[in-house]
Amino acid sequence: MKIVCYKDTILKAINSVVKAVASKTTMPILEGILIQTNDDEIKLTTYDLEIGIEYVMKCEVKEHGNVVVNAIMFSEIIRKLPDTEIHISLNSNNLLEIECEGALYKLTTMNPDEFPELPKIEVENSIDMEQGTLKNMIRKTIFAVSTEENRPIFTGCLLEVENNKLNFVAVDGFRLALRSIYLQNKSNNFSAVIPGKTLNEVNKILSDSFENVKIGISKNQALFEMENCKIVTRILDGEFLNYKSVIPNSWETRIKVNKNNLQNSFERISLIAASSVEKEKKYPVKVSVDIGKVVISCTNQTGDAKEELYVSSEGKNIEAGFNPRYFLDSLKSIDEEEIYVELGSNISPCLIKSVENNDYVYMILPIRLKD
């Protein structure tokens, strides 16, 4: 094998595939990148048996061949080389030689025949959308995916198509994030739970552009296809939460508030909430709604803080406690200037919604306040 490529081109490919390299494994081959040549391009592949990534890039192929090389070492060498042409070849001792402006590195390689094949996916349902739109939907829901392995189904995000409406839903038992869009092209109804880890990596590879991405779903695998990159992942087994049944459809109290003002107040109050001497104790931030204003406050051994915001309010006066991080995660994902915050009681879920449309809903469970 002998190829010539530019550093920025191959580094972009490496950065895309390295996200699926196994970090803790008894199979050293999974710590590698499979490099395969084909006419005037090479294909880089990584696979940790849960997520697999293929990336095809143009380069000058002087001799064909396949090889597996340790991903971390290969990527770090390429990253630190000068920004110019790089010559990569496999010598007679099966060492991968990397040459660039007087620098020469030789890396041991592994047998490409031992590298596991990515699953072959027979797509049953698929949708096409702009990469920037998918990136936005992931960003606005991924923070609410659970990290608790005792409920594996909640470590993924529900991708659901219903009546040509695409819903992304994430839930961790304390909060819920729902983002929706209407698809431009006709699609069947279907649903699948995609691992949060996969969506995080997909999000890093997607560009914030109008370029297309195709999502294909089979019985137990999902496929994300872009122009020069393909990502394969398993689908999580189990029954996802019936989210429609837990989102309240009425409220007792509603405020309309400037999103940035509310976010800034929560960020400042969180300084007190997070500074408790007893680190294991979680101190809630209290939200009190009165006529025309909302008071956000917190008290613990470190001190106390209180901020007032003037808002448009409807309904009853109310007090409820919340984890400030959950509130902030939701607020940071919203781009609109004004939002609704809807409350039922001090023990029922709080909803954060759009004033203009129904493309997102965030639900946060309250924390019981001590008397």
Annotated domain spans of the chain: 2-114, 125-243, 247-364
- Work out the average pLDDT over 201-228: 93
Q: How far apart are CA 91 and CA 75, in angstroms?
A: 19
| pLDDT of amino acid 99 | 97
Query: Which one of 3.90.1200.10, 3.30.565.10, 3.10.150.10, 3.90.25.10 gives the CATH number of domain 2-114?
Result: 3.10.150.10
Mean per-residue pLDDT of the chain: 94
| Overall average pLDDT of the 3-27 stretch | 94
d(Cα 276, Cα 136) in Å, to the nearest integer? 35
Cβ atoms of 140 and 322 within 8 Å: the answer is: no
How far apart are alpha carbons 244 and 242 in whole angstroms? 6
**Given this chain, do its domains 2-114 and 125-243 carry the same CATH topology?**
yes
HSE-CB at 171 with a 13 A cutoff on CA atoms is 21
Q: Which CATH class is domain 125-243?
A: alpha beta
Q: Look at residues 364, 361, 365 and name the one whose alpha carbon lies nearest to residue 141.
A: 361
pLDDT higher than threshold 60 for residue 195: yes
Predicted confidence (pLDDT) at residue 26 exceeds the cutoff of 70:
yes
pLDDT tens digit sequence for 83-96: 999 999 999 999 99
Res. 215 pLDDT band, cuts 50 70 90: very high
Alpha carbon separation from 239 to 145, 149, 193, 242 (Å, rounded): 15, 15, 9, 9
Q: What is the number of residues in the chain?
A: 371
Residue 25 has pLDDT above 60, yes or no: yes
3-class DSSP assignment, residue 260: helix
Give pLDDT, residue 278.
52
Note whether 178 and 213 are within 8 A (CB): no
For 40-84, the pLDDT digits (tens) are: 999 999 999 999 999 999 999 999 999 999 999 999 999 999 999
- For 232-282, how does the pLDDT look when each residue is reduced to its tens digit (9 = 90+)? 999 999 999 999 999 999 999 999 999 999 999 999 998 888 765 455 456
* C-alpha distances in Å from residue 154, one per residue of 157, 172, 181, 234, 252: 7, 6, 22, 15, 29
Provide CATH code, domain 247-364. Answer: 3.10.150.10
pLDDT at 358: 86
Q: What confidence score (pLDDT) does residue 269 get?
A: 93
pLDDT above 70: percentage of residues in the chain:
98
Higher pLDDT, 291 or 273: 291
CB 3 within 8 A of CB 88: yes
With 70 as the cut, is the pLDDT of residue 360 above it? yes
Give residue 354's pLDDT band: very low, low, confident or very high (50, 70, 90).
very high
> How much helix, strand and coil, in percent to the nearest 5, is found in the chain?
25, 45, 35
Average pLDDT, integer, range 187-201: 96
Mean pLDDT across the stretch 308-320? 95
In this prediction, residue 275 carries a pLDDT of 63
Average pLDDT over residues 339-359: 93
> Which residue in 191, 181, 190, 118 sits closest to 158, CA to CA?
191
